Structure 1
Amino acid sequence: MNTSDKPETLFSFFSTKSIDYYQNNLEENYRFFLPEHPETGETLSAEGENGVWTKLEKIHEGTVAEVSFSTTDFMTAEELISLLEPFDLDILWAPLYTGEFREFEPSGYGGGGNSISIFDTYGLTGGRETEDDYMSEGKMQNLTEETLEESKKMMLTNMDDLLENDPKSYYENFLGLYFLEERYSYLKQNGFQVYGAVVTGPVRELLKLKDVKQLRSPSLGELDYWNWE
C-alpha cells in the first residue's frame, strides 16, 4: 500500500462553469474512507470520530460549522441528497468513486488496519455561476436536487475537454489529475457514486447527524461564530 505521513489530498472540482479545473483548498485536509474494497467487496472500516460530536456539543447551537463524513456504503448522489434532506444543511462537496482499484491503482492512498483512504480524490460540487464573459465569478452553488444533473454534465464535459484539448503532461504534471481518461470512462459507464460529503450548517443541525447510521468518521472543519448580542 502506498502511504505517506502527511498526504496532500487533491480535490478536483470539475463541475464549475468558470474554469475546467478547480482545486478546493477548503477541504484538502479532510479524509474519506471507502466503505468496501472495490475488488473483493470486503467491508472496510474507517478511522475514529476524533471527538467531533463532543466538541460540537460544547459550541453554541447557532454557530455555523463545517463537517465532513464518510458513508457506510457507496450511494448515488441522489441517495446522498435524499439522506440529508431532513436536515437544514448545505452539501458543499462529495467524494466520488471513479474506478480506483478496479480500473487502475490510485497514485496515493493509505489507512490503518482495515481502512482505505484515497488521497487524490475527485469530487462533485454544485459548481459556480459566472457571467458569460468569464470575467467575474459568482457565488458557489451547493449540491442540491436542482443543481445535481447540471453538475454531473458540467464535470463530464470539462473532463472531456481536457482529454481532447490538452496534453497528458499538462493535466497530470501541472494539474495533478492522474488517470483522467480511466476516471472519465468509469463515470460515463457506471454513473456517479459517492461515499461521503462535506456539509455546513448550524451546530444544532449538525449534531443530528450523530444518529444517522449510514454516516461514520466525521471530521470538524471551519467554524463561523455569530455575534448574538
Structure 2
Amino acid sequence: MNEKMSDEFKSKLEAYEHGHLEGRELAEFEEELEKLEQFQEHLEGDNLEYQIPISGEKQKKILRKSKWKARLQTAMVAVGIFIIVMIVSTIFTAVYYSWGNPDRSEVLANVMDHTIAVTDPYGGFGNTSTNAKPFFRAEMTRDLNKIVGKEHTTVGELKVNFLFSLMSFPEWNYMGKVSQNQPAFIYPGYGDREMSEWDKLEKLPEGTVVSAYLSFNELVETTEVFNRFGEKDLNIVWLAVDTGVEGKDDWDHGVVFDPIGFSEYPIWHDDDMILDSREETKGFLFGKIISEGHSSPSYTIGDDEVLHTQFLKTLKFLGKHEKLAEKLYGGQDLNLHERIEFLEKNGINHYGIVVTGPTKEILKLKEENLISSMVVDEVDLWNW
C-alpha cells in the first residue's frame, strides 16, 4: 500500500468510524476491511504453526543460565570496584605515610627504635622496617637482639600494626635462646651481695662468655663508670639512668625491672647525620631520583657530654609521641616530662650497668666494692 493509498484508507476509516460512508462506498469499504481481517488471521496462524514448543526443563535451563549470567556480571562489577578501591587506597596510603620531612613512616619507626633503645639494654642493636598496606595501614617489624661476648644474636621479633598513626598492641615474639628469668637492677641502698650470682660464674668453664647486670651501692656519674670499667677486658653494653622514680617504692624493695638508660654509643637522630654525598639522576618523565649518603658525627667512647645530649634529645622526642612509646613500654606511664625535668635539674647518674665479656673477667668484678649485686643474663661459648 503506497503513501497515497494509505492516506486514502485512513480518511475512509475515519469517515467509517464517524458514520459518514453511505451506499456503495460503505459496502466496498466493509468488504475491504473483511479482507484485511482474513489476511491478519492468516498471518497469525502461520506464526503459530511455525512456533517450536519449549519444554519445562529447557525453560528452567534458560532461566538458570540467565541467573548465572546476571550473577557473573554482578561479581565482575564488584571485583572491578574492589580493584579500583584497592589501587586508590594503596596510592593514598603511600602518600599518607610518605608525607612530611621526615615522613610519617620514619617518625613512627624512630618512635619504635628510640623507645627500645632507652628501655631495653640490648635495644640499640637493630632497626625497624616498614611495610605499607592498603586502607591506610602499615606493619612495622624489628628484630630483637642480644649481645653476649662479641656476638649479636637475634632472639625474637617485635611487630606493630598501624591504622593511620594509631598503634595496635605490640606483638613481642621471642625464639631461641632467651633468659627464663627477667634480670633486674637493685637501686642503691637495697642491694645485698648475698643476692648475687657470683657462684654461678664460678661454676662456668673458662671458655665461655656472659652478659650480666651489675648494680651499684651508690649513684655514679657517667665518667666514673667508664673510668672504672672502660679499661677492663669487657664491654659496657648499657648504662641505667636514675630518672627520679627508681627506688622510691618500698614494696618493690628497690628492684628495678623497667629501667631507662642508654648504651655506650650515642642515640643518633635524623637531623644529627652528616651529608657525605648527593646524586641526582633523571627519573620517570620529569621526576628525579635522589641518592644521598650520610654518616654519624664523630664520637669517642666515654664522651659523656655527647651521650647525655643525645639521651635527653631522645627523651624529648619521645615526649612528643608519649602514648605510642608507653604502648611499647608495656602500657606503663613513662612520665617523660617529670623525668626530663629531674635530669636537667640533677644531672645524669647511674645505679647499674649491663656488661658482657669473658666469664672469668666478669668474675673478677666480685672484688669491686662499688658493685652491690650481680645477675647473670646470658651465657655462650667463647667468642671473644
TM range (shorter): 0.5 to 0.7
* Equivalent in the alignment of 1:161: 317
Cα contact 2:112–2:328 (8 A) shared by 1? no
- 5 Å-filtered alignment, 1:132-147, equals 144-146=301-303
Q: Which residue of 1 aligns with 2:127?
A: none
1:120 Cα offset (Å)? 3.0
Establish whether residue 55 from structure 1 lines up as the match of residue 200 from structure 2. yes
Which among 179, 185, 193 is matched to residue 32 of structure 1? 185
Equivalent AA in structure 1 for residue 348 of structure 2: F
**Deviation for aligned residue 1:86:** 4.1
Match of 2:255 among 84, 108, 117: 117
Identity %: 27
Give the alignment of 1:10-21 within 5 angstroms: 19-21=113-115
Shift of 1:62: 3.5
Q: Compare the two structures and name the one with the higher helix fraction.
A: 2
Matches within 5 A, 1:1-229: 19-22=113-116, 23-24=119-120, 29-35=182-188, 44-50=189-195, 52-100=197-245, 110-111=252-253, 116-127=254-265, 144-146=301-303, 148-163=304-319, 165-166=320-321, 168-175=322-329, 176-226=332-382
Distance 1:19 1:123 in 2: 14
Using the size of structure 2 for normalisation, the TM-score is 0.42
Counterpart amino acid of 2:234?
Answer: L
Give the Å deviation of 1:129. Answer: 7.2
Can you give the 5+ residue segments of structure 1 that lack an aligned partner in the other structure?
Answer: 1-15, 36-43, 134-142
Is contact 1:91-1:144 (8 Å) kept? Answer: no
Root-mean-square deviation over aligned CA pairs: 3.6
| Matched residue SS, 1:81 | helix
Q: Which has the higher contact order (CA 8 A, sep 6+)?
A: 1
AA aligned to 1:157 is: K
Larger Rg: 2
Contact map agreement 1:17 1:129 (CA 8 A) in 2: no
CA distance in 1, matches of 2:251, 2:199: 29
TM-score normalized with structure 1 length: 0.67
Could you say if the C-alpha distance between residues 205 and 17 of structure 1 is closer, same or farther in structure 2, counting changes exceeding 3 Å?
farther
User: Aligned partner of 2:209: which letter?
Assistant: V
Gaps of 5+ in 2: 1-109, 123-145, 147-178, 276-299
Number of residue pairs matched by the alignment? 187
Q: CA deviation at 1:101?
A: 7.1
* CA 86–49 in structure 1, closer or farther in 2 if over 3 Å, else same: farther
Deviations 1:91-148 (A, max 9, x none): 111211111279xx67x9612xxxx123332112134679969xxxxxxxxx9414x4
Q: Write the letter of the residue equivalent to 1:76.
A: E
2:339 partner SS:
helix
- In the TM superposition, what whole-angstrom CA distance separates every residue of 1:30-78 from its partner, at most 9, and x where no partner exists? 221221xxxxxxxx23245456222222222231111112111111011
